[in-house]
Every structure is written in C-alpha cells, then in structure tokens.
Amino acid sequence: MPNIKPISDLRNYGEVLRDVAVGTPVFLTKNGHGRYAVLDIEEYKEYEKMLAWRMLKAELDEGRRSGEENGWASAKEARAHFKGRYSG
C-alpha cells in the first residue's frame, strides 16, 4: 500500500524520512493532489539507470530502423564518419 502524506507533514521531516526505504517511497500531496515523491537514494539511482537504458534502447532501435530502411553503413564508412567528427 502506498505511503501518502500531506506536504504539511514535512514540518516533522524526520518522521517522514523514517518511512522512506527502498521499495517504499513516500508520496506527498498538496491540496489533496499528488505532488512529490521522496525516494531512497539507491532506488533513485536505479531509476536513473532504467531511464538511461530506455533512452539507449530507443536510440538503438532507431538506428536499426534507419539501417533497415536506408541501408547499412560499412565499417569503413563508420570509421571515416567518426574520425572526421571527433578528430579535434
């Protein structure tokens, strides 16, 4: 069951933070609507990794689609592209 508290409970932030653990974030409401989430730092790091993975996966999928639709670049063409782009 989600741990939901009004933002006014932050007056006693120590009690709010005691309820935060990996897998059990505290959701804070403002005027009865969800507004903030307080996460354990380890859970936040995992969240960032998951977002980075999703972005990478989307880019790889786009590259595959582009290759299938427009043809693949040879290794020689790829080397030339990156050499010109990153050679200072």
Please count the helices (runs of H) and the strands (runs of E) in the chain.
3, 3
Give the mean pLDDT of 23-35: 96
At 88 the pLDDT is 62
Give the mean pLDDT of 7-12: 94
Give the mean pLDDT of 12-41: 95
The larger pLDDT score, comparing residue 86 to residue 42, is at 42
For the chain, domain boundaries: 3-39, 40-70
At 13 the pLDDT is 92
Give the mean pLDDT of 20-35: 95
CA dihedral 61, 62, 66, 67 (to 10 degrees): -30
pLDDT at 27 over 70: yes
Running DSSP on this structure, what letter comes out for residue 30? Answer: E
Answer yes or no: are the C-beta atoms of 22 and 40 closer than 8 Å.
Answer: yes
